[in-house]
């Protein structure tokens, strides 16, 4: 197999992209040969703006359906490869978008949110972030969040999460967790 064939046949998934989204970026992802990418659609936002960010993505999916499709499961990644499109995996870099009730997890699950980072550098209702002056560990809300994310088959991302909170999540989660992006502590 030549290098060119190898690249052409590979399923390439980018673990995390944050961007100023729009047709120009979507074209670059497509030209670059990405099969799928975890695209951040909430970082600091609460319930309403996070929900509306997903509404904006649904519009992008409709308006760019020549090169984009939404990924709800692994079949969609295979379909993206065979149809020469980029599969967008909707993801969050925080869990603030659920608001204060975990009943909303079911809504986001049905709309196709697949990756949820537990905290984003600072503390939130679920636990501590990696930039806090100490990590006091997971909260009871955070325990319920792990169960809800497991139950809805959403991937937990521990990037930006404090080390003790991360260890708590790893112990509690019935599913594998992920670090979509990280750097050595000594370089911090």
Of 186, 19, 148, 11, the closest CA to residue 93 belongs to: 19
Q: Is 22 in the site for a second copy (CB under 8 A)?
A: no
Give the Cα separation of 76 and 87 in Å (integer): 7
When the beta carbons of 34 and 54 are compared against a second copy, the nearer one is 54
When the beta carbons of 28 and 65 are compared against a second copy, the nearer one is 65
Q: Which residues of 139-170 are buried (b: 16+ CB within 10 A; e: fewer)?
A: bebbeebbebbbeeebbbbbbbbbebbbebbe
Residues touching a second copy: how many (CB under 8 A)?
A: 18
When the beta carbons of 15 and 46 are compared against a second copy, the nearer one is 46
What minimum distance in Å lies between the beta carbon of 95 and a second copy? 15
Q: Where are the beta strands (DSSP E) in the chain?
A: 13-17, 36-42, 68-70, 86-92, 113-117, 155-157
Give the Cα separation of 70 and 76 in Å (integer): 7
Rounded to 10 deg, the angle between the 104-111 and 140-151 helix axes is 30
Using the contact rule CB under 8 A, the part of the chain among 13-21, 53-61, 113-121, 163-171 near a second copy is: 53-61
- Interface mask toward a second copy for 103-132; x: CB under 8 A: xx-xx--xx---------------------
Please identify which residue in 24, 27, 28, 48 interacts with a second copy, judged by CB under 8 A. Answer: 48
Question: Using CB under 8 A as the criterion, which residues of the chain lie in contact with a second copy when the complex forms?
Answer: 47-48, 51-52, 54-56, 58-59, 62, 99, 101, 103-104, 106-107, 110-111
């Amino acid at each position: 197999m030549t290098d060119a064939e190898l690249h052409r046949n590979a399923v390439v998934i980018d673990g995390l992209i944050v961007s100023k989204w729009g047709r120009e970026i979507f074209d670059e992802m497509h030209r670059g040969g990405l099969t799928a990418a975890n695209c951040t659609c909430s970082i600091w936002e609460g319930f309403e703006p996070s929900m509306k960010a997903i509404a904006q993505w649904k519009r992008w999916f409709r308006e760019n359906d020549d090169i984009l499709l939404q990924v709800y499961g692994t079949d969609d990644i295979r379909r993206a490869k065979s149809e020469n499109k980029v599969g967008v995996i909707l993801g969050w870099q925080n869990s603030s978008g659920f608001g204060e009730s975990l009943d909303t997890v079911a809504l986001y699950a049905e709309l196709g949110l697949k990756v949820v980072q537990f905290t984003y550098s600072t503390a939130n209702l679920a636990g501590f972030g990696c930039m806090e002056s100490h990590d006091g560990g997971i909260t009871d809300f955070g325990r319920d969040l792990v169960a809800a994310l497991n139950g809805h088959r959403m991937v937990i991302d521990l990037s930006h999460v404090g080390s003790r909170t991360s260890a708590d999540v790893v112990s509690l989660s019935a599913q594998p967790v992920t670090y979509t992006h990280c750097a050595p502590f000594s370089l911090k």
